[in-house]
């Protein structure tokens, strides 16, 4: 009888423990799916919110933060992101710097362009329009590009050389590459030969416009973590990136995905002849460190910074490092010059 009663108590305790674990896991899942932009990563209200027109007439959404007369930092986000992706940098830098951020065409508050206008030339023209409107004559800025935003800066260097020298004092290129993005990524494990063999499939997937929903789910969060962040990224960081990524229209995702699949900006790199810092993430599988190392070697004036333990989203995963390196460029090439 005593043994039977003990077994019943153990079974009851086990059942209660299972229920408690399930409730805790449900709360954890709910917290992970919640939008961090409503809490710790809430967007910073801009001082100025306006629209500028690119060369083809596309409306580009621009926001400005911090004191108007301070040294200028321009932020260009990456593929399937938006101004809010730089929330950490905007909050940290705008206390004493004039921060300009803009949505790449089709992203955030910028207009979705017509078919055939998802090109690196168009991205260069968009950045040129932003620089003309936000950097006064006689002044220069530090321009920070992440992923496709950095590609925009490389394209600008070849397409708008005079403007580059007039408006850009120094550059930061974070988590980016200029060619071989499909064969050079580590999304597919295995030898390089296998990636070259399956490259056509990778290009089709990049250009796909499959519906992924507009909000993260229990299925999309692990996918976003695998593709874009390190395994050790916090649930909040993963959810933040997932919310930003999934809000991009799928036509824009596919349009620029096709461009990235065949990207080749190697001939533009030597034209970026301003002081530059190249940032890589040790665990970035989208643009692995070898892309950044090669870019730093090919740039006329570049310094390489490799960040341990982070993936592709260094502005989210390592905000302190990004702030430190941006301020170093400002101190060296804007404050001293001023």
pLDDT value of position 9: 47
On the question of pLDDT at 143 being above 70, the answer is yes
pLDDT value of position 12: 54
What is the C-alpha to C-alpha distance for residues 174 and 91, in angstroms, rounded to an integer? Answer: 19
pLDDT in tens, 292-314: 999 999 999 999 999 999 999 99
Best CA proximity match to 164, nearest among 153, 172, 174, 173: 153
pLDDT in tens, 248-305: 999 999 999 999 999 999 999 999 999 999 999 999 999 999 999 999 999 999 999 9
What is the C-alpha to C-alpha distance for residues 221 and 30, in angstroms, rounded to an integer? Answer: 12
Domains with residue ranges and CATH for the chain:
36-335 (3.40.50.1820)
Taken as a whole, the chain contains a residue count of: 338
Mean pLDDT of 303-326: 98
Q: Could you tell me if residue 142 is left (phi over 0), alpha (psi between -120 and 50 degrees) or otherwise beta?
A: beta
Task: Enter the tokens of residue 1.
Answer: 């009888």
pLDDT value of position 29: 47
Mean pLDDT of 72-96: 97
On the question of pLDDT at 116 being above 60, the answer is yes
pLDDT value of position 3: 55
Per cent of the chain over pLDDT 70 is 89
On the question of pLDDT at 8 being above 50, the answer is no
Residue with tokens 């990004």: 322
Contacts of 47 (CB under 8 A, 6+ apart): 64, 65, 66, 68
On the question of pLDDT at 40 being above 80, the answer is no
On the question of pLDDT at 154 being above 70, the answer is yes
Per cent of the chain over pLDDT 90 is 75
pLDDT value of position 4: 54
Give every strand in the sheet of 48-53, ordered side by side. Answer: 48-53, 59-65, 98-102, 72-76, 141-146, 168-174, 276-281, 302-307
Q: What integer best gives the mean pLDDT of the chain?
A: 90
pLDDT value of position 22: 43
Task: Enter the tokens of residue 227.
Answer: 């593709």
pLDDT value of position 188: 79
pLDDT value of position 211: 77
Reported as a pLDDT band with limits 50, 70 and 90, residue 28 is very low
């Amino acid at each position: 009888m005593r043994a039977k009663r003990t077994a019943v108590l153990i079974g009851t305790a086990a059942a209660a423990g299972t229920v408690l674990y399930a409730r805790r896991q449900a709360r954890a899942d709910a917290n992970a799916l919640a939008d961090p932009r409503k809490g710790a990563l809430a967007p910073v209200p801009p001082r100025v919110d306006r629209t500028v027109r690119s060369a083809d007439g596309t409306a580009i959404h621009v926001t400005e933060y911090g004191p108007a007369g301070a040294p200028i930092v321009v932020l260009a986000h990456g593929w399937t992101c938006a101004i809010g992706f730089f929330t950490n940098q905007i909050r940290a830098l705008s206390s004493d710097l004039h921060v300009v951020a803009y949505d790449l065409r089709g992203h955030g508050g910028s207009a979705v362009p017509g078919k055939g206008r998802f090109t690196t030339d168009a991205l260069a023209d968009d950045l040129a329009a932003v620089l003309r409107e936000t950097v006064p004559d006689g002044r220069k800025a530090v321009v920070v590009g992440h992923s496709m935003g950095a590609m925009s800066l490389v394209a600008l260097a070849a397409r708008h050389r005079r403007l580059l020298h007039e408006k850009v004092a120094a550059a930061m290129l974070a988590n980016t590459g200029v060619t071989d993005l499909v064969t050079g990524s580590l999304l597919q494990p295995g030898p390089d030969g296998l990636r070259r063999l399956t490259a056509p499939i990778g290009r089709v997937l990049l250009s796909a416009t499959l519906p992924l929903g507009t909000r993260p789910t229990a299925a999309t969060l692990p996918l976003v973590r695998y593709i874009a962040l390190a395994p050790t990224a916090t649930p909040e960081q993963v959810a933040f990136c997932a919310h930003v990524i999934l809000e991009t229209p799928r036509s824009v995702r596919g349009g620029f995905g096709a461009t990235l699949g065949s990207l080749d900006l190697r001939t533009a790199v030597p034209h970026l002849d301003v002081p530059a810092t190249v940032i890589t993430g040790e665990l970035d599988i989208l643009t692995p460190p070898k892309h950044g190392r090669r870019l730093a070697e090919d740039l006329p004036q570049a310094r390489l910074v490799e960040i341990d333990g982070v993936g592709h989203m260094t502005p989210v995963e390592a905000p302190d490092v990004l702030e430190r390196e941006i301020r170093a460029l400002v101190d060296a090439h804007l404050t001293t010059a001023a």
